[in-house]
Amino acid sequence: MNHQRSSPKRPMPSLRAASAFICVLCVLFATARPVTADEGMWMPQQIPALTSKLKSMGFAGDPSAFADLTGDPMGAIVSLGGGSASFVSPAGLIVTNHHCVQGALQYNSTPDRNLMEQGFLAKTRAEELWNGPGSRVFVTVSVREVTADILGKLDPGLSDRARFDAVEKRVKELTAAGEQGGLRCTIASFFEGMKWFEFGQMEIQDVRLVYAPPAGIGNFGGEVDNWQWPRHTGDFAFYRAYVSPAGKAVGYAKENVPYKPKHWLRVSPKGANPGDLVFVAGYPGRTARLTPYSEVKQTVEWGLPRTVERNTDQIAILEKLSQEDKETAIRVSTRLRGLNNSLTKSKGVLNGMIQGGLLAARKAQEQSLLAWIDANPKHKADYGDVLPALNALITDRARTRERDSLLAEICGGKGSVMGAAQTVYRFSIERPKSDADRDPAFQQRNWSRIREAQDRLQRSLDVKADRVLMKYSLAAVAKLPASQRIDILDKEIGLSTEMSEADADKAIDAFLRKLLTGTQFYQKDVRLACLDRSTADLLAMNDTAIELTAALYPLAEEVREKSKERSGAGYRLGPRFAGALLAQSGGLVAPDANGTLRVTFGQVLGVAPRDGLWFLPQTTLQGVVEKATSTSPFKMPEAQLSAIKALRAGKMTPYLDPVLNDVPVNFLSTVDTTGGNSGSATLNSKGELVGLLFDGMFGTVASDYLFDPVRTRSIHVDARYLLWTMAEVDGATNLLDEIEGRR
């Protein structure tokens, strides 16, 4: 296959000349149309109502196509259960972000073969690597409103706890009915519980790693460039979905065959250019634009500063461990990357909310709502008591927030031995119940997931990491005020409010030595076998992790019960609060992101992040060269350097931008996105994939709480950089043939 025949040889212009041309182009475009970001992570079925807006932006297609989840392009969009992706071939090939495949790279890495650094390419399907237990691809095939089924005929006199139970019972019944046909069913609430929808998804369980470029491309810039612009990151990778020969979603097996999706996206070799209208389809995680001001204020004053402090400390702890042991470095790698990402975003949100004035703007927004309510007797009768009641719930939760957060860290720390013991112990309590009475997380529909999680945990469980992170958490427990003490830990460790820090430190060290040497839960076979044991049998093991879990269980259960009561109050008050917001706005509003399929749209456009500075909307290979150093995170792979030199020497490529006269790397757009959108398909007006969404900008991440219509931008990797890297750097010609329909 010849990837060079479509572009004539031409000299490379200077970077200054190219930049000047782009700047003129952007200024002309900015004067022609409003330079504003486009708010709205829209439900697909809302898009037809936005036809006039789309037409005004130059869209000539049929907006109703986005509401058809079984057609083009939406039938190609999938979820990874925490990230987004899309099919790009009829043989189940999936494209997503490089940072979304870190779990698969980590699972298949060893100190001698670290795929997270080296990257991976399967030249044949036989070489594709299983992602490990628990990896999933979810293909949404149906959605319907079930508000009446959930909220209809609920007795208004129910207590908050009884209301929670009634709603949970109805959700369970609908879920069970929706899964009769073999789909994975999810019931999700929108507009603070005002609306409810049922989503049916095919749950593909055999997912394999196909291709991920080296870290020097896929994570170029690392944490230094994270959430920043300009970016030069090749944040892309490929999976493949497999099913049984009969086309059924089954677990990993050698005889499985590639899934044949009904729809897949064409990858455009033209990418995206300044002024283009683009759509992003994916699964954004959570936003809080429709929540009360008091909750946002608590997040800004307590939640975010706490995250910044604790993430900073834990990152330092894990980085020190990683430097001491290569195996530990691999085991904690995904946790470390997650902590870093959360830390940077939390700092950005704090900056935007306080220095950027968004917290004050949220307060003014709520005061406007209160004035609107007070100005009309009917509004006052309908909504006047809602905010005070919601604020009381938020205040009540704050009374034990530090204790509850630390208890969650210790009992259920992700990737920890105590987290494993917590799961196994709770499962032993829930399993004997009828399925309808079980906690939703422990219903039979989730049993295979629970087992897979304990299996996969073996690749990240590390006693050294557990020791230092638990010590860090317990040191905070020792400092809890008298009103929030965890009595069982005080007793087990020997802590008291009168102890010196040095004495508490010694007591914690002694406790951890006993705890971590007295548990068998670092052994995979033990954890898996314990999933079949009764509570009495678990306690008879005299395992220290189980004993501590059992001792903490009553308090953990008390916290869960209190949370259920507050949720029941939320089911009562939330819809009324959202109703007030919607009535005041008087127009079409996108619900807060909640992990369900959404569509957002905007234009490829630069931005002025602050006075006197203008960011161009595109970056190129020239920027990669200028940033490259001899050390990580800016160490360019030798193969990429050779490919760039060949391009500079006149080697032709169809991925050269005729205006930039270089290969575009990343671009900015005005689309509205958040965490969970990572890996989302960026589409042009024809429904072709022109890029992948992978990040936002540090200065506007607070848009999760209040959208900034002027400066908000999302960052995408251009399809041309993806294709050029595959063709000229990593030699992934087998995949190029497949993507381009030649295989």
Give tens-digit pLDDT for 233-286: 999 999 999 999 999 999 999 999 999 999 999 999 999 999 999 999 999 999
**What's the pLDDT tens digit per position in 293-324?**
999 999 999 999 999 999 999 999 999 999 99
pLDDT for 544-597, tens place per residue?
999 999 999 999 999 999 999 999 999 999 999 999 999 999 889 999 999 999
User: Which three-class secondary structure state does DSSP give residue 609?
Assistant: strand
> Do β-strands 714-718 and 689-696 pair in parallel, antiparallel, or remain unpaired?
antiparallel
Interatomic CA distance for residues 452 and 458, integer angstroms:
10
Cα separation, 509 vs 500, in Å, equals 14
What kind and span of H or E run contains 31? helix 15-32
pLDDT at 742: 59
- C-beta of residue 569 within 8 angstroms of C-beta of residue 160: yes
Of 524, 536, 358, the closest CA to residue 454 belongs to: 524
Residue 678 is a catalytic residue: yes
Contact between 280 and 601 under an 8 Å Cβ cutoff? The reply is yes
Instruction: Give the gyration radius of the chain's Cα atoms.
Output: 26
Q: What DSSP state is assigned to residue 554? A: H
What is the token pair recorded at 14?
Answer: 């200077």
Amino acid (one-letter) located at 590: A
Beta bridge partners of 629: 635
pLDDT, position 414: 79
Beta partners for 599? 42, 281
Going along 248-361, which residue ranges are E strands? 257-258, 277-282
415 band by pLDDT with thresholds 50, 70 and 90: confident
Across the beta sheet with 618-620, what order do the strands follow?
A: 598-603, 277-282, 681-683, 689-696, 714-718, 664-669, 618-620
Catalytic residue flag (residue 396): no
Given the residues 3, 98, 99, 232, select the one marked as catalytic.
Answer: 99
Whether 410 and 470 have beta carbons less than 8 Å apart is answered as yes
Please give the Cα distance from 196 to 151 (Å, whole number). 9
Known catalytic membership, residue 99: yes
Lowest mean pLDDT, pick from 66-75, 113-122, 660-669: 66-75
DSSP letter at 678? T
Point out the catalytic residue in the list 79, 678, 680, 703: 678
Q: Taking Cα atoms as reference points, which of 315, 309, 317, 312 lies closest to residue 336?
A: 315
Three-state DSSP class for residue 138: strand
Asked if the model's pLDDT at residue 20 lies above 80, the reply is no
CB 171 within 8 A of CB 150: yes
Nearest to 168 by CA among 153, 184, 151, 185: 151
State how far the Cα of 138 lies from the Cα of 183, in Å rounded to an integer.
10
At 128-151, the pLDDT tens digits run 999 999 999 999 999 999 999 999
Rounded CA separation 365/416 (Å) = 42
Given a contact cutoff of 8 angstroms between Cβ atoms, the answer to whether 474 and 410 are in contact is: yes
Residue 675 has what pLDDT?
A: 93
Where helices occur in 479-609 by DSSP H, the ranges are 487-489, 501-517, 524-530, 535-540, 544-585
Q: How far apart are CA 150 and CA 211, in angstroms?
A: 43
**Mean pLDDT for all residues in the chain:** 93
| Among 160, 235, 276, 662, the one annotated catalytic | 235
